C-alpha cells in the first residue's frame, strides 16, 4: 500500500533555461566535466584579454596623462606591471593605415572614392533597392570616376600610385581584381565548355596552369617578367603589374566557379534557346548566363573573400597595403615592439570585411534555396 502512495518525482525538465542547460552543457558527467573545464579556461582567459585590450590599454594618453608619440611612452614600457595594449600607435598612424602616403591636401578625393564605392556596392548587395536600375548605371561608371579621382587627370593633380597605401591599396586591388576577373572568368568558362577543341583546350590549359601555381609566383611574374615582355617605352606602373597578376589569378578561379554554375543548367534550356533560333551568343547572354550566374553567386562571393585575403601577398613584391603599412610602422624605431597591437588591428579590419562578405554569401545561399523551392512548388 505504501508503495502505491509514494509520489513519483516529476520528469527532468527538457524545456526552459534549466532544460537547455541540462541538454546542451550537462548531458552526462563527461559532458559536465568538459563544460566546467571550458568555463574555467574562459574564466582565466577572458578577463586577461579584456584587461589587455581595453581596461589597462592606452588609447591616446598613457597612465601619466601624456599624449603618446612613441613606444617608450606606452604605459607598458614605462611600467611593465600595469600596462596593456598601446593602441596609440594606431591612433598616430591612422592616416597611413587608411590612405598610405596620399598627400593630405588631396585626401578628400580618397574619401569621396570610399563613399562612392559604398554607393556603387548598394545595388549589387540589395536586389530590392528602389531605383536599383539607376544605381546600377552608377556602379558601371564608378571605376572610371574612381580612376580619375584617385590617380589624377581631368583637372585633378596627379598622385602617383607609389604614394597609395594601406586600406586604399587593399580595396583597389580587391575591387579591381574581382570586377575585372568577373567578365574574363565568364569568357574562360564559356571557352572551356566550347565545342571548338582548340579554344576549349587553350582555356583549360590556362585555367589549370593558373590554379596549379601559387599566387606569389604570378606576382613575381608580373613584377620581374612582364617588363621583359613589353616593348621599350611602355613602362608599367608597379600597382598595375600586380593588378595584372591578381586579375589573371582570380579569373581562373572565377571561371571554375561559373563553369560549375553552367553545368547546373539543364540541357533543356540550351535546346529551347536553340530551337527558337538563337545564336550562340544570344543563347548564352539571354538564357544560360543569367541563370548560371545567379546560382553561382555564393561561390563567387567565397572566391572573392579568398582574393581579398590574398591581396596581402603584394607586400612581398614591395607594395604597401594595410599589412605592409603595419610592417612598415613596426620597422620604425618609434614604434618598435608593438607587433601585437598592429597585427591585431590589421586582422580586425580584414576580419570585418571578410566576415561581412561570408555572412552575405550565407544570406544569399539561404535566399537562393527558398527561391528555388518556390519555383518548384
Taking alpha carbons only, the member of 256, 280, 129, 149 closest to residue 203 is 256
Nearer to other proteins, 5 or 30 (CB): 30
199 binds other proteins (CB under 8 A): yes
Question: Shortest gap between Cβ of 42 and other proteins (angstroms)?
Answer: 8
Considering only 118, 316, 336, 372, the residue that binds other proteins (CB under 8 A) is 316
Residue 235: phi, psi to the nearest 5?
A: -110, 115
17 binds other proteins (CB under 8 A): no
Nearer to other proteins, 25 or 236 (CB): 25
Residues within window 33-72 making contact with other proteins, judged by CB under 8 A: 34-35, 38-39
d(CA 323, CA 339): 11
31 binds other proteins (CB under 8 A): yes
Taking alpha carbons only, the member of 10, 153, 39, 167 closest to residue 97 is 167
371 binds other proteins (CB under 8 A): no
Nearer to other proteins, 228 or 374 (CB): 228
C-alpha cell read off for 172: 583597389
80 binds other proteins (CB under 8 A): no
C-alpha cell read off for 87: 593602441
d(CA 169, CA 249): 18
Considering only 8, 9, 128, 195, the residue that binds other proteins (CB under 8 A) is 195
Helix residue ranges per DSSP H, the chain: 2-5, 16-24, 29-50, 75-78, 88-92, 94-99, 107-125, 132-151, 167-192, 197-212, 215-220, 226-229, 238-263, 267-275, 280-282, 289-295, 297-310, 322-331, 339-376
Non-local CB neighbours of 180 within 8 Å, separated by 6+ positions: 243, 247, 250, 251
343 binds other proteins (CB under 8 A): yes
Nearer to other proteins, 154 or 198 (CB): 198
157 binds other proteins (CB under 8 A): no
C-alpha cell read off for 221: 611574374
The stretch near other proteins (CB under 8 A) out of 46-54, 139-147, 220-228, 287-295 is: 220-228
Question: Shortest gap between Cβ of 232 and other proteins (angstroms)?
Answer: 7
Question: Shortest gap between Cβ of 316 and other proteins (angstroms)?
Answer: 6
- In the stretch 346-365, what mask flags binding to other proteins with x, by CB under 8 A? xx--xx--xx--x-------
Nearer to other proteins, 109 or 241 (CB): 241
94 binds other proteins (CB under 8 A): no
Question: Shortest gap between Cβ of 252 and other proteins (angstroms)?
Answer: 13
d(CA 335, CA 70): 6
Max CA-CA distance within the chain?
A: 108
Nearer to other proteins, 107 or 236 (CB): 236
4 binds other proteins (CB under 8 A): no
Nearer to other proteins, 111 or 347 (CB): 347
279 binds other proteins (CB under 8 A): no
Taking alpha carbons only, the member of 247, 223, 236 closest to residue 315 is 223
228 binds other proteins (CB under 8 A): yes
d(CA 37, CA 145): 57
Residue 67: phi, psi to the nearest 5?
A: -75, 130
Q: For residues 330 and 336, is the Cβ–Cβ distance under 8 A? A: yes
> Binding residues for other proteins, per CB under 8 A?
23-25, 27, 31, 34-35, 38-39, 195-199, 202, 209, 211-217, 220-221, 224-225, 227-232, 305, 309-310, 312-313, 315-316, 323, 327, 339-340, 343, 346-347, 350-351, 354-355, 358
Amino acid at each position: 500500500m505504501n508503495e502505491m502512495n509514494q509520489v513519483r518525482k516529476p520528469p527532468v525538465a527538457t524545456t526552459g533555461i534549466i532544460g537547455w542547460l541540462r541538454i546542451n552543457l550537462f548531458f552526462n558527467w563527461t559532458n559536465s566535466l568538459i563544460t566546467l573545464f571550458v568555463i574555467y579556461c574562459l574564466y582565466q582567459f577572458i578577463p586577461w584579454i579584456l584587461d589587455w585590450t581595453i581596461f589597462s590599454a592606452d588609447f591616446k594618453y598613457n597612465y601619466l596623462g601624456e599624449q603618446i608619440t612613441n613606444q617608450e611612452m606606452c604605459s607598458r614600457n614605462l611600467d611593465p606591471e600595469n600596462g596593456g595594449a598601446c593602441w596609440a600607435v594606431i591612433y598616430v598612424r591612422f592616416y597611413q593605415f587608411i590612405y598610405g602616403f596620399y598627400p593630405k591636401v588631396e585626401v578628400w578625393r580618397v574619401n569621396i572614392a570610399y563613399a562612392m564605392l559604398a554607393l556603387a556596392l548598394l545595388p549589387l548587395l540589395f536586389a530590392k533597392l528602389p531605383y536599383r536600375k539607376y544605381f546600377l548605371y552608377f556602379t558601371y561608371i564608378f571605376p572610371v570616376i574612381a580612376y580619375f579621382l584617385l590617380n589624377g587627370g581631368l583637372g585633378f593633380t596627379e598622385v602617383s600610385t607609389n604614394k597609395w597605401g594601406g586600406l586604399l591599396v587593399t580595396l583597389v586591388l580587391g575591387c579591381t581584381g574581382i570586377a575585372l576577373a568577373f567578365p574574363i572568368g565568364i569568357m574562360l568558362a564559356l571557352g572551356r565548355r566550347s565545342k571548338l577543341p582548340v579554344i576549349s583546350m587553350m582555356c583549360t590549359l590556362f585555367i589549370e596552369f593558373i590554379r596549379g601555381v601559387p599566387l606569389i609566383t604570378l606576382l613575381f611574374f608580373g613584377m620581374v617578367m612582364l617588363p621583359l615582355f613589353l616593348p621599350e617605352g611602355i613602362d608599367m606602373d608597379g600597382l598595375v603589374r600586380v593588378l595584372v597578376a591578381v586579375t589573371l589569378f582570380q579569373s581562373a578561379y572565377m571561371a571554375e566557379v561559373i563553369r560549375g554554375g553552367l553545368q547546373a543548367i539543364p540541357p533543356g534550356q540550351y535546346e529551347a534557346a536553340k530551337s527558337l533560333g538563337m545564336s550562340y551568343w544570344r543563347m548564352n547572354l539571354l538564357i544560360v548566363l543569367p541563370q548560371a550566374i545567379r546560382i553561382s553567386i555564393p561561390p563567387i562571393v567565397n572566391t572573392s573573400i579568398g582574393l581579398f585575403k590574398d591581396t596581402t601577398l603584394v607586400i612581398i613584391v614591395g607594395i604597401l597595403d594595410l599589412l605592409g603599412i603595419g610592417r612598415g610602422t613596426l620597422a620604425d624605431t618609434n614604434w618598435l615592439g608593438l607587433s601585437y597591437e598592429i597585427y591585431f588591428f590589421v586582422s580586425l579590419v580584414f576580419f570585418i570585411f571578410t566576415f561581412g562578405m561570408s555572412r552575405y554569401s550565407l544570406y544569399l545561399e539561404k535566399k537562393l534555396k527558398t527561391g528555388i523551392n518556390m519555383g518548384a512548388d
